């Protein structure tokens, strides 16, 4: 397996960190600006070398399609790529069409579980879950499939609208609870569909 030069290693870590933070992969211009290259061509040469060595891969003709390659997975066996399906409101429920935006690279040891085929990521918007230390801009890792227990945080469709809330069953009634006194509980009038249960939280450091 091809090893990396010091510069290639720094560029790889920069790109991987962007993905791990739930951001889109950087453009060549952004790589060039970060490393203060006088031209985009220098960044392009290093990124192409990373692709040729298998540390990165990309989709031809698609912008911002860089992702962690197979060589990096072999050497970083604790890193997993989790598909990022857009954002979810942590506030009033809203219309959100969840489409793949790429992947979030996570360290398995850091999050405490191994993501599987039913694991997905969502970017949080809003402040209704601050009582559970979930803030606007955080990325939540969810698992589709298991039935939630009361008190667990869930991504849900309530009457056709998407939201992130605490799942509660009380006196035989199921509802969604906000963790911010500004917001009221949500009781479904027609349908409540659980899309996933929270497994981990990723927070980007503030600049």
Residues recognised as catalytic:
128, 165
Phi-psi region of 171 (alpha: psi -120 to 50; beta: other; left: phi over 0): left
Which tokens is 115 given? 């993501």
Q: Are strands 153-158 and 161-170 parallel, antiparallel or unpaired?
A: antiparallel
Q: Which residues lie closer than 8 Å to 3 by C-beta, 6 or more apart? A: none
Distances (CA, A) of 117 to 29, 114, 144: 33, 10, 9
Distance CA 144, CA 20 (A): 20
User: To which H or E segment does residue 9 belong?
Assistant: helix 6-20
Beta bridge partners of residue 62, listed in sequence order: none
Distances (CA, A) of 85 to 82, 96, 141, 153: 9, 10, 10, 17
Residue 193 main-chain phi, psi, to 5 deg: -120, 120
């Amino acid at each position: 397996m091809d090893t990396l030069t010091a510069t290639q290693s720094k560029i790889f870590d920069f790109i991987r960190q962007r993905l791990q933070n739930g951001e889109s992969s950087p453009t060549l211009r952004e790589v060039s600006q970060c490393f203060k290259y006088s031209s985009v061509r220098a960044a392009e040469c290093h990124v192409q070398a990373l692709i040729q060595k298998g540390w990165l891969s990309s989709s031809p003709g698609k912008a911002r399609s860089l992702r962690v390659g197979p060589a990096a997975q072999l050497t970083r066996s604790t890193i997993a790529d989790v598909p990022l399906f857009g954002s979810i409101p942590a506030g009033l429920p809203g219309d959100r069409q969840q489409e793949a935006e790429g992947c979030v690279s996570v360290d398995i040891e850091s999050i405490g579980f191994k993501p599987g085929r039913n694991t997905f990521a969502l970017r949080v918007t809003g402040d209704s879950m601050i009582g559970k230390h979930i803030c606007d801009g955080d990325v939540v890792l969810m698992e589709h499939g298991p039935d939630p227990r009361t008190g667990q945080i869930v991504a849900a469709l309530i009457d056709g609208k998407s939201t992130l809330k605490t799942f509660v069953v009380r006196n035989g009634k199921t509802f969604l609870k906000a963790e911010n006194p500004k917001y009221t509980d949500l009781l479904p009038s027609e349908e409540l569909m659980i899309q996933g249960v929270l497994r981990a939280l990723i927070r980007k450091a503030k600049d």
